[in-house]
Amino acid sequence: MAIKDDVFAVAEPVVQQLGYELVEVEYVKEGPRWFVRVYLFKADGVGLDDCRAVNDALGPVLEAADPVKSPYILEISSPGAERVLKTEREYKIFQDRLVKLSLREPLDGEHAVYGRLGPISEHNIQVTTTGGETLAVGRDNVKQIRLALDSSVPAAK
């Protein structure tokens, strides 16, 4: 298993016990330093106090479990307002959130679809558009799914 997977396994119960969803763990080197980044989700948002609480609870648990053998800096963060969704787990966490689907082939002349993320099956991603239409977009036609802000959504036609 990769280090980030080991950290995820240690961090997930701690994060869940505090009332958050663990979205992702990164283990990256930037310059001479290694970072362990833990991304949290909570329906009403993640603030600085939330990050501090998780850091205070998770730091000692990671030290005891020791999944990272070299020195690192622990960072706790929200996933970001316009995060790219990468995994099935994230699709479930962010269901019913506003998203932008970037398409490989245009749909009704558009290369992007904005709407609320609905159920995802093996073949389709359901989105309820800002105009109220429910679409089943073929997964093979989706390049990327990104969280969207209301302000980034074009007006419905």
8 Å CB contact between 126 and 134 = yes
Residue 157, domain member (yes or no): no
Q: What is the CATH number of the domain that holds 143?
A: 2.30.30.100
Structural domain harbouring 9: 3-77
Whether residue 106 is found in the same domain as residue 64 = no
pLDDT at 35: 97
Give the amino acid at 116.
R
Whether residue 7 is found in the same domain as residue 72 = yes
Q: Between these two residues, 130 and 42, which has the higher pLDDT value?
A: 42
d(CA 97, CA 92): 10
Whether residue 112 is found in the same domain as residue 140 = yes
Residue 93, domain member (yes or no): yes
pLDDT at 130: 81
pLDDT tops 70 at residue 155 = no
Domain-ending residue, one of 77, 109, 143: 77
pLDDT at 48: 95
Whether residue 63 is found in the same domain as residue 7 = yes
pLDDT tops 80 at residue 156 = no
Residue whose structure tokens are 């699709």? 91
Give the amino acid at 49.
D
pLDDT tops 70 at residue 154 = yes
Whether residue 11 is found in the same domain as residue 67 = yes
Contacts of 31 (CB under 8 A, 6+ apart): none
Cα distance between the two ends of the chain: 48
pLDDT at 152: 67
Mean pLDDT of the chain: 93
Q: What is the CATH number of the domain that holds 53?
A: 3.30.300.70
- Reported as half-sphere exposure (CB side, CA atoms, 13 A), residue 32 has a value of 0
Q: What is the mean pLDDT of the segment spanning 14-19?
A: 97
**Domain count for the chain:** 2
Whether residue 58 is found in the same domain as residue 105 = no
Whether residue 68 is found in the same domain as residue 30 = yes
Residue 65, domain member (yes or no): yes
pLDDT at 77: 96
Q: What is the mean pLDDT of the segment spanning 19-25?
A: 95
| pLDDT tens per residue, range 60-108 | 999 999 999 999 999 999 988 899 999 999 999 999 999 999 999 998 8
Q: What is the mean pLDDT of the segment spanning 141-157?
A: 81
Whether residue 66 is found in the same domain as residue 90 = no
d(CA 48, CA 148): 22
Bridge-partner residues for 129, per DSSP? Answer: 115
